[in-house]
Structure 1
Amino acid sequence: MTMTVLETSDIHGHIVPISYADHSAIESGLAKLAAVIRKERANTEHVLLIDNGDLIQGTPLAYHHAKLDAKVPNPMIRVLNELGYDAAIIGNHEFNYGLPLLEKAVGESNFPWLSANIVRESDGEPLFGRPYVIKELGGVKVGILGLTTRYIPNWEKAEHIAGLRFEGAVDSAKRWVPYMREQEGVDVVIVSYHGGFERSLDTGEPTEPLTGENEGYALCQEVAGIDLLLTGHQHRTIAGVQVCGVPVVQPGSAGGWLGKATIKLTSGSEGGWHVEEITTELLTPAGVAPDPVVLSMTEPHERLAQKWLDQPIGRLVGDMRVTDPMQVRLAEHPLIEFINRVQMELSGARISNTALFDNVSPGFPEHITMRDIVSNYIYPNTLQVIRVKGSDIRAALEQTACYFDTYTGEGDIRVSAEFGEPKPQHYNYDMWEGIRYKLNISRPAGQRVVELEFDGAPLDPDGEYDVVMNNYRAAGGGNYMMFQGKPVVKDIPTDIAELLASYIMERGTIEATLNRNWQVVWDGKSELSEAE
């Protein structure tokens, strides 16, 4: 007896294989994966199809549905229903638009949503009531346990997760895996965990602070009885690997890969089935024509989203285009200064930080549309003003400065492993306005802030300062623990993308400016040239 388990994860609203920035074709997306999934189903009798979370947020299509067209069925759910998914796991980004939108998506689904470790405070029962689901294929009972990273309260707005408690994934697995084995009598246990690995898969050494955000390694090491672990959240591509004897899979993000596990079983002499072998691999949709049914059913939603994206909202005088992301992070860029200044003006705070979230942000052209806004500000963040000490600002700048490998002046400046592995974390490199500072990346990490001033004087370590930033960072996200638990002076519960768009529309014309209040330097080059 052989069965196949197919996994998608971190789709983040990507269905149609196009770039929302410029309409160019891309070799990923759920429409292309759908064709691969249908082929696998046609060639295999016993197939399980599982989505591992972070499905309903991440593209302009998903944003448009959530904010402007939420009364119609969710386009991502419609596709999963069409493809006959057996289960979906709740990811951290499922909460980004609030619990009502998530509840609507779950209600429209023809499959169960699982998460054993997200429970209601009122009764301790799992959210949506389903910690696991049992499927029978060819007489084999398969239990699928859903788990979610417990770190969500460190990122998400409190009102989006009110009444919920996030327990440890390992603790929940230790409860439910034996239950499925002993009480439900399952033959195969699959754990689908929207979380990743906190340790090296090769050496077992920690690869990040052991905060509980990722517990994949501990699940394999500490929980007996797991036959297969499906993972996500970190956007890694992992297959053909075992951790403590457990086969593990992680299929990247945005529909770039399909995880596949082939499970071979033999029947026991006293009944039941035993796992003989599990092999794992990743299937690529590159070169595969997108599924026409999926394209057709998505087209009405996509058409409305594209029309919304092309709405002109204002004009730019000057240049805010991004041609070299590394240069944006080495010396202030007009796009970054603009976002920070909008944040400061709307919040009243005198200090602000923001990030260039990825290396494909195009910046703003002369005639700005909504497409330009969402292509640069890709997350549904809101703004918060928190009160911190000067020492907290210095500590945050030291954390930011860890983005760079130590640089001697020879060769290219490189991103450190801390920010590049297991996935790129450009969104965790902050750039500030309202203070003057320099970072010397020839110095050891933790000793790189060489100048730090506010109002023309050295920043007072014990002084209190109000700083505006996105809600993710204000909660300590990205290992900025110095911000965690700080007093919230002001909360602005509108998406920053909307704030930027409204700001531009109200003025009609904006201007690119540059005050050069910060820069990155290195030994042998004390200042960057004007051209840089």
Structure 2
Amino acid sequence: MFTTKRKRYLAAATTAALAAAALVAAAGPAGAHHGHDHDHGHGRQVDLQLLALNDFHGHIEAEEGLTYPVGGAEVPAGGAEYLATHLAQAREGERYSTTVAAGDLIGASPFLSAAFGDEPTIESLNAMGVEVSSVGNHEFDKGIDDLYRHIEGEGDYTGADFPYLGANVVDEATGEPVLDPYWIKRFRGGVRVGFIGMTLEGTGDIVAKSGVEGLDFLDEVETADKYAEVLHDQGVDAIVVLLHEGGYPVEEDTGHDCESLDGSGVGMSGPIVDIAETMSSEVDIIVTGHTHQEYVCSVPDPAGQPRMVTSASSYGRVFTEIEATYDRRTKDIVRSSVTGANTVVERDVAPDPAQSELVARYQDEVEEVAARPVGYISEDITRGATRAEEFPLGSLIADAQLDRTADPALGGAQIALMNPGGVRADLLYDEGEAGVVSYGELYTVQPFNNYLVTMDLTGAQILTILQQQLPSADRETTLFMQVSRGFTYTWDTSLEGTDQIVADSLMLNGEPIVADQTYRVTTNNFLADGGDSFYEFANGTNRLTGEVDLVALEAWFAENSSADDPVEAPELGRVNVI
């Protein structure tokens, strides 16, 4: 069911690539003193520059609360108008430069972009010169058809000027990729660099199943190795992988020679380590994302050669600059020449006028919608510092979802469970008008437009779901399920494995949860499909799909808050952690 659309895009991409190649050939020299040819008698070597982004998530506005640590202080950072200027300055004098990204450019976006289906973000990225990106998991938040809309355009919306690559995203019936697997940047003088783009293999477990029905997400290493050979057969040996999977800088020396802006990361952990250590040595550089971390690391490839692995944090607050020498004789990157560094997108530069105009245009259109009051709070209601803890806003959302589905005609829910990653921002008392919750603020908290699903689960299944909060072979991190009022249990961290979730401690309104008794449980459709590796939800029966989570939360605030009776932050302790 994906073949027709893919062929149409591939044809367009081929035409665009030929046109771009013609423009490059006609453009002539672009720089003054950087990006020059070495060995001028033969023009054997040239300097390449890659500028890289990841996990932009639609943060086109220079938001007041968007900061990054610099010199021990949090400084304002990010915003498309400043990012564009930084990128333009970095490109100055560079003849062989391209700007790339490693996915999650859209999805889980602030209200300004999300209110227009993330079209403002794609327009912004087009204008700032992004030339190619891998897809990430959030590119699938609204399903493959919406991703095609961003690739191909629709009506007056022209879509992305750059190819979205997904080498490991295939039609499960044919095994063929439904997106372009790779893209070749053709510089002047026959210099060619191949880019393979992929999302993480686990994407199908962390997005709503309905949006990726009929798709498989293949192993990252096997896919990269396959297309590295394809590129090699086309005479392209300078190869960069854009991969929406990443790692974490750690303080201990892991033998990976990492650098981070705050100086804390000297080693690396996480999924990217094994991937980078086993991926074909034909790949010269790996640009990563997904974990929202900032690092420039050297990880030995299977041949024992150092290979650069980078990530540029998130939200456009950092970009990576990679420099490398390309040898025309070998048609490859000189691995020993590769250097890289991350730069904070501070707002101490002149804003890019085109980006300022774009942001202002959408702000004018969305201002009235975003400012609409939807509820009242008496204090900050916040997320946790991590996704491995109970937090007030998670409890409030679970309570709201329980209340909206408790009526027997609407689901008859007794318990509601909320994933921590679905809560994307805090509700702050002093944000905008004091104590007033606007629609824009609420949207930023829950931007995914997931539906509420109420289902039958046995007590034993509920226990299994709670056990699936713990790290496993499919997920290395703990995800702390946020639970509705009346449901309690004990988490004993002194015990091993799944025994940490004390089986006989599960209670509902003071009564023990019985293993073979059935309960009505509400969650969002992402979790209902087994998302975030909470696979047991997928075995729930007698499902009833309700309203969109954001609609439910807005309605709950309308019914449960007023200027005279604002909402307070729920008290913690529904889960007894010992």
Superposed pair shares fold, TM > 0.5: yes
Residue aligning to 1:180:
231
Residue 213 of structure 2 is aligned to residue 162 of structure 1 = yes
**SS class of match (2:98):** strand
Instruction: Report the equivalent of 1:64.
Output: 115
Rounded Cα–Cα distance in structure 2 between residues aligned with 1:484 and 1:203 = 40
Normalised by the size of structure 2, how large is the TM-score?
Answer: 0.73
Matches within 5 A, 1:42-81: 42-57=92-107, 58-66=109-117, 74-81=119-126
1:305 alignment partner in structure 2? 366
Of 534, 545, 552, which aligns to 1:499? Answer: 552
Q: Are 1:241 and 2:298 an aligned pair? A: yes
- Does the CA-based 8 Å contact 1:240-1:279 persist in structure 2? no
Residues 157-200 of structure 1: CA deviation (Å, up to 9, x unaligned)? 3332233332222221121111101x210130011111224998
Unpaired stretches in structure 1, ≥5 consecutive residues: 209-213, 403-416, 420-424, 524-532
- 1:348-359 equivalences in 2 (<5 Å): 348-354=412-418
Q: Tell me how far apart the structure 1 counterparts of residues 101 and 470 of structure 2 sit (CA, whole Å).
A: 36
Question: Which SS does the other structure have where 2:227 is aligned?
Answer: helix
361-370 or 96-105, which moves further after superposition? 361-370
Give the Cα–Cα distance (whole angstroms) in 2 for the partners of residues 42 and 326 of structure 1.
Answer: 39
CA drift of 1:50 comes to 0.9
Asked if the contact 2:104–2:136 (Cα under 8 Å) also holds between the matched residues in 1, the reply is: yes
Asked if 1:189 corresponds to 2:248, the answer is no
- Aligned pairs for 1:190-229 within 5 A: 190-197=240-247, 202=254, 214=271, 217-229=274-286
Q: Specify whether residues 235 and 501 from structure 1 end up closer, same or farther in structure 2 by C-alpha distance, changes over 3 A only.
A: same
One-letter amino acid matched to 1:172: T
Aligned equivalents of 2:169, 2:435: Cα separation in 1: 46
- Is the 8 Å Cα contact of residues 18 and 25 (structure 1) preserved in structure 2? no
Q: What percentage of residue pairs aligned between the two structures are identical?
A: 22
1:86 corresponds to 2:131:
yes
Whether 1:149 and 2:200 are equivalent positions in the alignment is yes
Q: 1:63 to 1:203 in 2, by over 3 A?
A: same
CA distances 1:241-294 after superposition (whole Å, capped 9, x unpaired):
3243321011111111102211123343xx644524211211111243332221
Q: 1:199 and 1:85, CA in 2 relative to 1: closer, same or farther beyond 3 A?
A: closer
Q: Are 1:322 and 2:381 counterparts? A: yes
CA RMSD, 1 decimal: 3.7
The 3-state SS of whatever aligns with 1:280 is strand
1:43-97: per-residue Cα shift (whole Å, max 9, x none)? 322111112111122211222012xxx8xxx211212221222212111111212
The answer to whether the 8 Å contact 2:382/2:426 transfers is no
| CA distance in 1 between partners of 2:416 and 2:203 (Å) | 24
Question: Structure 2 vs 1, CA of residues 203 and 3 (structure 1 numbering), >3 Å: closer, same or farther?
Answer: closer
> Secondary structure in 1 aligned to 2:523?
strand
Match of 2:169 among 115, 118, 137: 118
Residue 501 of structure 1 aligns to a residue whose secondary structure is helix
- Cross-structure match for 1:14: 59
CA shift in 2, pair 1:388/1:255, >3 Å: same
Compute the TM-score of the two structures, normalised by the length of structure 1.
Answer: 0.79
* Structure 1, 152-161 or 435-444: larger mean CA deviation: 435-444
Cα pair 1:120 1:165 within 8 Å, conserved: yes
1:171/1:443 CA distance change after superposition, 3 Å: closer
* Contact 1:5-1:261 within 8 A present in 2 as well: yes
Letter in 2 for 1:291: D
Map 1:402-441; keep pairs closer than 5 Å: 418-419=477-478, 428-439=480-491
SS in 2 for 1:43: coil
Q: Secondary structure at the match of 2:334?
A: strand
Helix, strand or coil: the match of 1:433? coil
Change in Cα spacing, 1:501 to 1:341, as seen in structure 2 (3 Å) is: same
**CA pair 298-332 structure 1, distance change in 2 beyond 3 A:** closer
Within 5 Å, give how 1:269-418 maps onto structure 2.
272-276=331-335, 277-289=337-349, 290-315=351-376, 319=378, 321-322=380-381, 325=384, 329=390, 335-336=396-397, 338-345=399-406, 346-354=410-418, 361-362=426-427, 366-398=435-467, 400=469, 418=477
Q: Which amino acid aligns with 1:283?
A: T
> Letter of the aligned partner of 2:49 in structure 1?
T
**Against the structure 1 CA distance between its residues 120 and 198, is the aligned structure 2 distance closer, same or farther, given a 3 Å change threshold?**
farther
Structure-2 residue corresponding to 1:530: none
Please state how far the C-alpha of 1:376 moved relative to its aligned partner: 3.1
In structure 1, C-alpha distance between the alignment counterparts of 2:394 and 2:210, rounded to whole Å: 34
| Aligned residue type for 2:288 | T
Higher mean displacement: 281-290 or 56-65: 281-290
- How far did residue 2 of structure 1 move? 0.8
Q: Which letter does structure 2 place at the counterpart of 1:236?
A: Q
The answer as to whether partners of 1:17 and 1:29 remain within 8 angstroms in 2 is yes
Conserved 8 A contact 1:51-1:89:
yes
Corresponding residue SS for 2:369 = helix
